[in-house]
Amino acid sequence: MARLLLCSRKRTLRVLKTLLPILEWLPKYRVKEWLLSDLISGVSTGLVATLQGMAYALLAAVPVGYGLYSAFFPILTYFIFGTSRHISVGPFPVVSLMVGSVVLQMAPDEHFISNETTFNATIIDTAARDQERVLLASTLTLLVGIIQLIFGGLQIGFIVRYLADPLIGGFTTAAAFQVLVSQLKIVLNVPTKNYNGILSIIYTLIEIFQNIGSTNIADCIAGLLTIITCMIVKELNDRFKHKIPIPIPVEVIVTVIATAISYGANLEKNYNAGIVKSIPRGFLPPVLPRVHVFTEMLTASFSIAVVAYAIAVSVGKVYAIKYDYAIDGNQEFVAFGISNIFSGFFSCFVATTALSRTAVQESTGGKTQIAGILSALIVLISIVALGKLLEPLQKSVLAGVVIANLKGMFMQVCDVPRLWRQNKIDAVIWVFTCLASIILGLDLGLLAGLMFALLTVVLRVQFPAWSSVGSLPHTDIYKSTKMYKNTEETEGVKILRFSSPIFYGNIDGLKKSVKNTVGFDAVRVYNKRLKALKKIQKLIKKGQLRATKNGIISDAGTSNSAFEPDEDIEDPEEFDIPTKEIEVQVDWNSDLPVKVNVPKVPIHSLVLDCGAVSFVDIVGVRSLKMIVKEFQRIDVNVYFSSLPDHVIQKLEQCGFFDDNIRKDIFFLTAHDAVLYLRNQVKSREVQDSILETVIIGIKVGSYKGAGKDPPLEEK
Amino acid sequence: MARLLLCSRKRTLRVLKTLLPILEWLPKYRVKEWLLSDLISGVSTGLVATLQGMAYALLAAVPVGYGLYSAFFPILTYFIFGTSRHISVGPFPVVSLMVGSVVLQMAPDEHFISNETTFNATIIDTAARDQERVLLASTLTLLVGIIQLIFGGLQIGFIVRYLADPLIGGFTTAAAFQVLVSQLKIVLNVPTKNYNGILSIIYTLIEIFQNIGSTNIADCIAGLLTIITCMIVKELNDRFKHKIPIPIPVEVIVTVIATAISYGANLEKNYNAGIVKSIPRGFLPPVLPRVHVFTEMLTASFSIAVVAYAIAVSVGKVYAIKYDYAIDGNQEFVAFGISNIFSGFFSCFVATTALSRTAVQESTGGKTQIAGILSALIVLISIVALGKLLEPLQKSVLAGVVIANLKGMFMQVCDVPRLWRQNKIDAVIWVFTCLASIILGLDLGLLAGLMFALLTVVLRVQFPAWSSVGSLPHTDIYKSTKMYKNTEETEGVKILRFSSPIFYGNIDGLKKSVKNTVGFDAVRVYNKRLKALKKIQKLIKKGQLRATKNGIISDAGTSNSAFEPDEDIEDPEEFDIPTKEIEVQVDWNSDLPVKVNVPKVPIHSLVLDCGAVSFVDIVGVRSLKMIVKEFQRIDVNVYFSSLPDHVIQKLEQCGFFDDNIRKDIFFLTAHDAVLYLRNQVKSREVQDSILETVIIGIKVGSYKGAGKDPPLEEK
């Protein structure tokens, strides 16, 4: 009893530890060994997080200060629920931009034109606009959180699998391009309209260049200097990463200097520079997001939920592998779901992770999420105390920081030639997703890319590889007769290896491959034979031919009457003549007494080697059955080899077998089939000639039974 | 020279005959034999066509008379360009309804509210409305024709393959339901609004029942009588089809009687019945369709173009098979394209074929399209002369005729249980397409069904069949160890048969199947071994263990210091200790002197039997490489057998091979691999024990090289 109780307590504890991973790692925290490095890491990461939070807020189209909240709140819950020990939770440019596009679409400038017009300029009520945008962003965050929590609850972490590498590559490159354009506007401080929907990025780009005359020189110079400095120092960081203990926090340094200059030179007044202006000091009380606009943002939030999760998990996995611990995909969904729901109430935008920030956290010695919570503390200090100091900072500097971080994403373009060499389809997926995401926008583009990637799978299955195979001399190995020299084919036997599932999409391919392998069209042969039989029968009736046991004996010089031009008139009439049944033996491979062009059939057996047929559907079964019947009619037996057991089972379920198609047509291997057929031929040669008995007067109606595709029924 | 000229003339003739099939069959027309039966067939079909044309015009939401045009014009061009000799070209209910839904959406009643309002009823300007609708229908027809012609030119007749049988079954059943609802309204003569978009059919149904009080009794009775009579006579026709020479043309008889009654009793005046009213006598001059609305109807016209074509070709094929001639799929696209373009200028709606009418044409003796052109002649007579006589006919009688023809389509529901037994996925496709077409409307529903069917292909590929296989005793046949009794497994060797392509969608499945087959997790084993090595090393340093050539010798009673709780704290710290390289030989399958829970590895080789892997993509190659590396680290060799040649080629292209993975890991069959491994073990046992040499102090960093999924790059 006591033991049972213990057992159940243990189980409860395990479940609890799965749901609250903090219970797993916090009690084992080695204060002495880890705390110091976590502290150092926390401070460095916190500084970067402060800066990135503000910069990415520009992408999310909310006032800069709200980026600080987004870099603070999500960490608090992730600390409790997350399973990754190294990722730095917070905003990420691609996701921020996706949030921004929803926000801009639902609250464009045009909605906030102030009633008081001064002179001839329209004045926008920026306070109301920003309030609305923050509310929309946090509503979206809440919805994304709910979706992620549901996904976690449904245990569908596996859907990330569908985001194949080429897809992600194309998508993030397109995102980098989108981010670049959106930041370009801020660097130049050029006013543009907000475009939405298809090609909006192109329109924005055009308008930026149209208005390039109104560039603010102070902002432009500050932005460009930031970009150049950051890129150079990052390059150095990268090149000498083994020689310097921690990467130089160039963004922080640049920001501090830029703030000082802006304050000192009073750039806002003197040069009309666009500065951060107001950062809310302290916290806002939680706000109930606007739940009734959920339906309007549903599609976008699905994309955002999946992308945000995919980014976090893929970055988390890198470090989990490095430090050898497991990341629970479903728990991550739950953790980010809870974090986004929580922070949705505190005016945040969607949180995930950023590789650059996570790299800082890890490289400066972060061991656990203690470093994360310490970085949140630094952000907290910024919110409460330092925020005001950053107010003179130019927005273009922040935009410059963002742009400088895009290099890695753009460099992915270099993957494409390699992909093309290795696998053309993957390269096409990359390019398609990238173009779709640029043209259609990120959410629709991702969806289009996903659909396209799935379609390529169908296409790859649909255009199957097949080959006519023969044995390598003196072995039981069968290889393509086209690819290999010296393959041997048994006389009268053709073997077709079909390497694909058989389903409605590739039936035509199957039929074509059968036809190409055997070298004739079974239906055509049958019809020609029927026609020839009719003629023979007529001649017999006229007495010009005699049917004997040894075949048909033609009375010389009479064959002209059965002459038929080479071009066939296939007239249906002909088949309707009711005929008396006369048994005639015809050797179809000899010259016929009538001049009907009956194609020669050089084989007696066709073996379909189906080792790679992983499934069949009902259309596939029907087509296979039809192929077997069509060949049986012209006295060619069809055998199957290497069919997987479950496929045979499916054939049985779908009514493949009947009186003519029995289960003895299956062989374990192609070689088994060939051995059997060789034996057969030997024993048959002893017994009989290959003359065949055919009943004349088969009514055309018997064609009906062949089970062709049933028509669309209307009556 | 002369011969060359002859050759080129012959080729030109052949091309000409392909483009104008009439040149092929008309010169060979056997006037004496065929003309009479074509004449009889033409007259019967013409009567049915007249009636169906009028009835289906109700579905297309155009005045009844325009259905006559639609039953006349398309035949004229199809006669020249078509390759089917038996189909009766003209309107079909499903396609007519699809046309109708576009027309109703673009020209609803509300657009035509007359300015003069009488009392409190809104009066609709029906003349303007009908004119607009006819114009829209013919514009749509023109567009459909253009699309079909383009499809024909691009030679993409194959796309019909995607319309799998279950898809068509579900779609046509849903269409039958849609037709029923739209005709119910006419039978009852109840006014309803035009609903569009999602669930419109349900709204219509609800409104019909809400307004059921305003049913017109005369129309309702006439309609019901028509339905009952037609269904009974059709049933009799079907049951005694072998005894009666031609089916009783019940629709024609019913219509004639109904017209007479309506005229005699003056149903319109006395009972306010809805009658056909005005049939334009003679022809209207050709009208230029409204080309600028093309973009609005583009999506719908794609669906209509494909559905109309699919119906015609599938019906045509039935008779082509029966009478043994070929239908050229691409030429059919061209023929219907030209027919629809042509008839689009003459106020027609989209033409295809109807199985019921084609059945009449064939069963009454139609041999060629001469019968078709004669039926057009009868329709012409109706247009020019008889039209006026049909004006007192009640619309509800026509609607009754349509409904009576739906039985066959509804009966398809009976296929579903059979489908479910045979192939669950096909049944699900049927039901999904049917529900989607009812809920979303026919065009979107078809698209959704198509997408769903494609998705099932992906899913079927994605959840692969795999099994751990062993040899049947004394054979080289390998079968699933779970499904077959008495399979033999070679000691130390596991064989996994993976029966699916390897691509991004099923990597997880592959990994899982590997793990389940071998019974342990290769990564975990490696990590545990590393940990154990660290401990051993520590103990060696402390002098509590000695590394000798014969393995590790423990000094008794010291193992407590290396105690580790069963629950593993996998702490990253531990791996960071830089260690001096000490060579130690550890027999991992013996009891270790340290108490690290290293899972036993009972195998030395894993064979992946990949005969059914029909393709790999780049993610698949990377994963395979990773699996090989992970197992190599724990001294398990991975071999591949039965890989198709093109997959090996792809592996090479994608950089699968390196210093550790060489091409000698491929075997032609699983049995070859097993024979090789047995030999290996024999020779190794002679040479050496299975103690292995492991280098202590492998840096954790070497994990990185294993080629895990690269992260989303940001920096």
A359 contacts in chain B (CB < 8 Å): 715
Q: Which of B452, B476, B491 is the last residue of a domain?
A: B452
Phi, psi of B714 (to 5 degrees): -120, -40
Whole-number CA gyration radius for chain B: 37
Instruction: Please report which confidence band the pLDDT of residue A290 belongs to, taking 50, 70 and 90 as the band edges.
Output: confident
CB contacts of B703 in chain A (<8 Å) are 321-322, 324
Whether B489 maps to a domain, the answer reads yes
Domain boundary among B538, B561, B586: B586
Pick from B586, B610, B625: which residue ends a domain? B586
Asked whether residue B539 falls in the same domain as residue B444, the answer is no
Shared domain for A444 and A471, answered yes or no, is: no
User: Can you give the pLDDT at residue B228?
Assistant: 92
Instruction: Specify whether the CB–CB gap between B138 and B349 falls below 8 A.
Output: yes
A-chain residues near B354 (CB < 8 A): 714
Verify that B304 and B448 share a domain, yes or no: yes
Question: Has residue A270 been placed in a domain?
Answer: yes
pLDDT, tens only, B591-637: 666 666 777 888 889 999 988 888 888 888 888 998 999 899 888 99
**Integer distance in angstroms from the first to the last C-alpha of chain A?**
72
Q: Which helix (H) or strand (E) holds A9?
A: helix A2-19
* Residue pair A606/A492 in contact by the 8 Å Cβ criterion: no
Q: Higher model confidence: residue A360 or residue B226?
A: B226
Same domain, B423 and B568: no
- Cβ pair A314:B711 closer than 8 A: yes
Residue B260 lies in a domain: yes
Q: Report the number of distinct structural domains present in chain B.
A: 3
Q: Which chain B residues are within 8 Å of A531, Cβ to Cβ?
A: none
Nearest to B484 by CA among B473, B499, B496: B473
CB of A145 within 8 A of CB of A99? no
CB contact under 8 A, B408 and A715: yes
Which residues in chain B touch residue A311, judged by CB atoms under 8 angstroms apart? 712
Interface test with B, best of A457, A478, A484, A521 (most B CBs within 10 A): A457
Poorest-pLDDT segment among A165-169, A278-282, B670-674: A278-282
Report for A194-203, A318-327, A491-500, A684-693: range of highest mean pLDDT: A491-500
A74–chain B Cβ distance below 8 A for any pair: no
- To the nearest whole Å, the CA of B572 is away from the closest chain A CA by 5
Yes or no: say if A432 and A170 are a contact pair by the CB < 8 Å rule.
yes
Q: Tell whether B372 and B511 lie within a shared domain.
A: no
Q: Is the pLDDT of residue A659 over 80?
A: yes
Q: Residue A612: which of B28, B168, B644 has the nearest Cβ?
A: B644
Does B563 have pLDDT greater than 80? Answer: no
Specify if A326 maps to a domain: yes
pLDDT, mean over chain A:
81
Distances (CA, A) of A349 to A244, A308, B172, B341: 35, 12, 47, 54
pLDDT recorded at residue A376 = 93
Q: Which has more confidence, B351 or B595?
A: B351
pLDDT band at A141 (very low <50, low <70, confident <90, very high): very high
Q: Which residues touch B705 (CB under 8 Å, ≥6 apart)?
A: none
Least confident of A131-135, A199-203, A317-321, B449-453: A317-321
**Distance set, CA A149 to CA A305, B61, B463 (Å):** 10, 48, 25
Q: What whole-number distance in Å separates Cα of residue A355 and Cα of residue A367?
A: 16
The residue to which tokens 């009080």 are assigned: B213
Which of A150-164, A313-327, B409-423, B454-468 has the highest mean predicted lDDT (pLDDT)?
B409-423
Cα separation, A699 vs A684, in Å, equals: 30
| pLDDT of B566 strictly over 50 | no
**Which one, of A141, A85, A138, lies nearest residue A373 by Cα?**
A85
The answer to whether B93 faces chain A, any CB pair under 8 Å, is: yes
For residue A623, give the CATH number of its domain.
Answer: 3.30.750.24
pLDDT of B318 > 80? The answer is no
Q: How far is A396 from chain B (nearest CA, A)?
A: 19
- Tell me the per-residue pLDDT of B9-27, one tens digit each, with 9 for 90 and over: 778 887 888 888 888 888 8
- Looking at the structure, do residues B564 and B665 belong to the same domain, yes or no? no
Q: Residues of A with CB below 8 A from B501's CB?
A: 457, 460-461, 614
Q: Which residue of B has its CA nearest to A315?
A: B711
pLDDT band at A640 (very low <50, low <70, confident <90, very high): very high
Tell me the C-alpha to C-alpha distance, in Å, between residue B401 and each of B173, B192, B290, B394, B396.
Answer: 18, 21, 32, 11, 9
Taking the Cβ of residue B447 and every Cβ of chain A, the question of whether any pair is shorter than 8 Å is answered with: no
Does the pLDDT value for residue B662 go beyond 90?
no
Q: Chain B residue with minimal CA distance to A456?
A: B458
Q: Which residue of B has its CA nearest to A320?
A: B572
**Using CA of residue B434, residue B438, residue B442, residue B447, what is the dihedral sign?**
negative
| Nearest-neighbour CA in chain B from A329: distance (Å) | 12
A412, A426, A668: residue with CB nearest B618: A426
**How far apart are the CA of B668 and the nearest CA of chain A, in angstroms?**
8
pLDDT at residue number B592: 67
| Tokens 């559905």, located at residue | B307
H helical segments located in B154-216: 165-188, 200-210
Coil vs helix vs strand at A543: coil
Phi, psi of A136 (to 5 degrees): -65, -45
Nearest to A408 among B93, B454, B715 (CB): B715
Q: Give the mean pLDDT of B571-587.
A: 49
B342 min Cα distance to partner chain A (Å): 26
CA distance B355 to B653: 52
- Chain B CB within 8 Å of residue A629 CB: no
Q: Name the pLDDT band for B435 (thresholds 50, 70, 90).
A: very high
As beta bridge partners, residue B194 has none
pLDDT at residue A547 above 80?
no
B41: tokens are: 């067939």
B454 chain-A contacts, CB cut-off 8 A: 454-455, 458
Q: How confident is the model at residue A552 (pLDDT cuts 50, 70, 90)?
A: low
Q: Does A365 touch chain B (CB under 8 A)?
A: no
A534 and A431 fall within a common domain: no
Of B45, B68, B62, nearest to B97 (Cα)? Answer: B62
Residue among A210, A230, A214 nearest A222 (CA): A230
- What integer is the mean pLDDT of A643-666? 87
CB-nearest to A311 from B454, B646, B712 is B712
Residues of A in contact with B704 (CB under 8 A): 322
Pairing of strands B605-609, B493-499: parallel
B470 vs B667: CA distance, rounded Å: 16
Q: Are residues B513 and B538 in the same domain?
A: no
3-class secondary structure per residue, B421-476: HHCHHHHHHHHHHHHHHHHHCHHHHHHHHHHHHHHHHHHHHHCCEEEEEEECCCCC
Determine, for residues A715 and B164 on separate chains, whether the beta-carbon distance falls below 8 Å: no
Contact between chains at B612 and A617 (C-beta distance less than 8 A): no
CA A508/CA A498 separation, integer angstroms: 13
pLDDT digits (tens, 9 = 90+) for B60-93: 888 888 899 999 999 999 999 998 888 999 998 8
Reported confidence tier of residue A577, pLDDT bands at 50, 70, 90 = very low
For residue B463, list chain A residues with Cβ-Cβ distance below 8 A. Answer: none
Cβ distance of A500 and B614 shorter than 8 Å: yes
pLDDT score for B694: 41
Question: Angle B6-B12-B14 (CA atoms, 0-180°, nearest 5)?
Answer: 105
β-bridge mates for residue A616, sequence order? A502
Residue A4 within a domain: no
Q: Which member of A311, A354, A504 has the closest CB to residue B164?
A: A504
In a domain, A429, yes or no: yes
Share of chain A above pLDDT 90, in %: 15
CA B653 to chain A, closest CA, distance in angstroms equals 5
Distance between CA atoms of residues B450 and B168, nearest Å? 10
Contact B653/A407, CB-based, under 8 Å?
Answer: no
Could you tell me which residues come within 8 angstroms of residue B407 by beta carbon, excluding any fewer than 6 positions away? Answer: A715, B231, B234
Q: Do both B635 and B546 map to the same domain? A: no
Distance from CA of A483 to the nearest CA of B (A): 9
Test B453 with A411 for CB contact under 8 angstroms: no
Q: How confident is the model at residue B638 (pLDDT cuts 50, 70, 90)?
A: very high
**Candidate ranges A315-329, A477-491, A567-581, B319-333; pick with highest mean pLDDT:** A477-491
Q: Name residue A255's beta-bridge partners.
A: none
More confident residue, B337 or B292: B337
Q: Quick check: is B338 in a domain?
A: yes
d(CA A314, nearest CA chain B) in Å: 5
User: Is A165 within 8 Å of chain B by CB?
Assistant: yes
**What percent of the residues of chain B are helix, what percent strand, and what percent coil, each to the nearest 5?**
60, 10, 30
User: Which of the four pLDDT bands, split at 50, 70 and 90, describes residue B392?
Assistant: confident
- The dihedral region occupied by B488, where left means phi > 0, alpha psi between -120 and 50, and beta the remainder, is beta
- Decide: A500 and A461 in contact? Cβ < 8 Å: yes
Q: Are A384 and A107 in contact (CB under 8 A)?
A: no
pLDDT of residue A697: 39
B479/B561 same-domain check: no
CB contact residues (below 8 A), chain A span 546-575, against chain B:
569-573, 575
Helix residue spans in B196-351 (DSSP H): 200-210, 217-239, 250-265, 267-271, 298-322, 329-344
Q: 3-state secondary structure string, B248-272?
A: CCHHHHHHHHHHHHHHHHCHHHHHC
Does B611 sit within 8 Å of A642, measured CB to CB? yes
> Residues A120-148: what's their mean pLDDT?
86
What pLDDT does B581 receive?
47
By C-alpha distance, which of A357, A318, A246, A708 is closest to B324? A708
Contact between A612 and B615 using a beta-carbon 8 Å cutoff: no
Give the domain extent around A697.
463-708
pLDDT tens for A364-379 read 888 888 999 999 999 9
Residue B657 contacts A where some CB pair is shorter than 8 Å: no
The least confident of A351-355, B217-221, B549-553 is: B549-553
Of A523, A176, A530, residue with least CA distance to B715: A176
Asked if residue A361 and residue A266 are part of one domain, the reply reads yes
For residue A703, pLDDT over 80 is answered with no
Average pLDDT in chain B: 81
- How far apart (Å, rounded) are the C-alpha atoms in residues A312 and A309? 5
CA distance B318 to B300: 27
Question: Do A575 and A530 contact (CB within 8 A), yes or no?
Answer: yes
B-facing residues of A in 663-692 (CB < 8 A) are 668-669
Q: A334: pLDDT confidence band, cut at 50, 70 and 90?
A: very high
Is residue A705 very low, low, confident or very high in pLDDT (cuts 50, 70, 90)? very low
Q: Does B658 touch chain A (CB under 8 A)?
A: no
- Confidence class for position B696, pLDDT limits 50, 70, 90: very low
Residue B163 lies in a domain: yes
A307 CB within 8 Å of a chain B CB: no
- In angstroms, the separation between the Cα of residue A447 and the nearest Cα of chain B is 13
Task: Please indicate, yes or no, whether residues B377 and B492 belong to a single structural domain of this protein.
Answer: no
Task: Tell if the CB–CB gap between B615 and A527 is shorter than 8 Å.
Answer: no
A 460-519 near B (Cβ less than 8 A): 460-461, 464-465, 477, 479-480, 483, 499-501, 503-505, 507-508
